[in-house]
Amino acid sequence: MFQSPEYCKTLSLKLSEVLEDVGVNEEMVMKRRRMFMLRESLGTITYRSIGKKRTLYHLGSQIEGTTTIGLRSDQDTVIVDYGYNVIQDWAEWKQSKRNLLMIQDENVTPGYCFLQLLRSDEPFFETNIPNEHYIRDSIGRILLRNTFLTSFKQENTERHGPSNAVSGVNGYRDIDVVFAFPFNSQLRSVSHFLERPGVKRWLSSESVRYAASCDCSVVGTSSKIASYPDFEWRISTSLAERCLMFNLNITQLQCYVLMKIILKTFLNPQKLSNLSSFMCKTVLLHCIENTEQKIWKRDNLFTCLSYCLLELHSYVQNENCPHYIISDNNLMAGQFTAEEKQDVLKKLCDIIQSDGGFLLRISMDNISQRLQVKLSTFVHIAYNIPTSLEIHEECLSDLFLCLMTEISGGIITLIYNLSNDHQCNLKHIILKLTYYSTRGNRVEQFVSRCLVPFLYSTLGLIMASSSIEQNNTVKYEALKWLTLGLNSDVTSGRLKLASMFYSLGDMDRAEFILRQTESRYNSTVVEPVCGCWPHPMTSCSAEFKRKCNDLSENCISSIASCCVKFMQKEVYCVPRELRYEMMRSTQDDMPYRSVHENFWMDFAVVDSLPYLYFLQYKTYGYLQRHQNQQLALSNLVEVIFTGRNFGHRETAFNLLGQCMEQEDKPREALQCYMISLQHRERNNAAKFHICNLVRKYASNR
3-state secondary structure of 80: strand
pLDDT given at position 150 = 66
* Alpha carbon distance 236, 181 (integer Å): 10
Of 418, 496, 485, the closest CA to residue 456 belongs to 485
Evaluate the CA torsion angle 309, 311, 314, 316 in order and state its sign: negative
pLDDT at 538: 86
The predicted model scores a pTM of 0.92
How long is the chain? 701
Average pLDDT by stretches of 10, the chain with 701 residues: 71 97 97 96 96 94 96 92 91 92 94 96 94 93 88 41 42 74 82 85 88 90 93 94 96 98 92 86 97 95 97 97 95 92 95 94 96 79 85 94 95 92 94 94 96 98 97 96 97 98 98 98 95 88 92 89 97 98 93 84 97 98 98 98 95 98 96 97 96 84 60
Best CA proximity match to 455, nearest among 414, 502, 495: 414
The Cα 527–Cα 563 span in angstroms is: 11
DSSP code of residue 319: T
Q: How many CB atoms lie within 10 A of CB 272?
A: 10
Residues β-bridged to residue 134: 144
Q: What pairing do the DSSP bridges indicate for beta strands 54-59 and 112-117?
A: unpaired
133: helix, strand or coil: coil
The pLDDT assigned to 164 comes to 44
Q: Which runs of E-coded beta strand occur in 213-343?
A: 216-219, 233-236
Q: Which domains does the chain have, with CATH numbers?
A: 1-24+248-385 (1.10.1410.40), 73-246 (no CATH), 390-647 (no CATH)
**What's the pLDDT at 379?**
57
Contacts with 690 (C-beta within 8 Å, 6 or more apart), sequence order: 670, 673, 674
The Cβ of residue 635 has, within 10 Å, a number of other Cβ atoms equal to 18
Helix segments in 524-648, DSSP class H: 542-550, 576-579, 608-622, 626-642
3 state DSSP class of 227? coil
| pLDDT value, residue 5 | 75
| The pLDDT of residue 536 | 83
Phi, psi for 182 (deg, rounded to 5): -90, 160
pLDDT value at residue 213: 87
Give the three-class secondary structure for 161. Answer: coil
Q: How far apart, in whole angstroms, are the C-alpha atoms of residue 522 and residue 541?
A: 11
**pLDDT number for residue 153:** 47
Phi-psi region of 293 (alpha: psi -120 to 50; beta: other; left: phi over 0): alpha
What does the alpha-carbon distance between residue 353 and residue 313 come to, in Å, rounded to a whole number? Answer: 12
Question: Can you tell me the distance from the alpha carbon of 76 to that of 80, in angstroms, rounded to the nearest whole number?
Answer: 13
d(CA 240, CA 212): 7
What is d(CA 602, CA 418) in angstroms, rounded to the nearest whole number?
13
**Long-range Cβ contacts of 202-210 (<8 Å, 24+ apart):** 202/247, 202/288, 202/289, 202/293, 203/244, 203/247, 204/247, 207/243, 207/244, 207/247, 210/243
CA–CA separation, 81 vs 60, rounded Å? 20
CA distance to 99, 155, 423, per residue, from 83 (Å): 9, 15, 28
Neighbours of 144 (CB within 10 A): 23
> Which residues, including other chains, have CB under 8 Å from residue 696's CB and lie 6 or more apart?
661
Per-residue CA distances from 49 to 45, 402, 453, 570, 595 (Å): 6, 21, 15, 21, 20
* The pLDDT of residue 231: 93
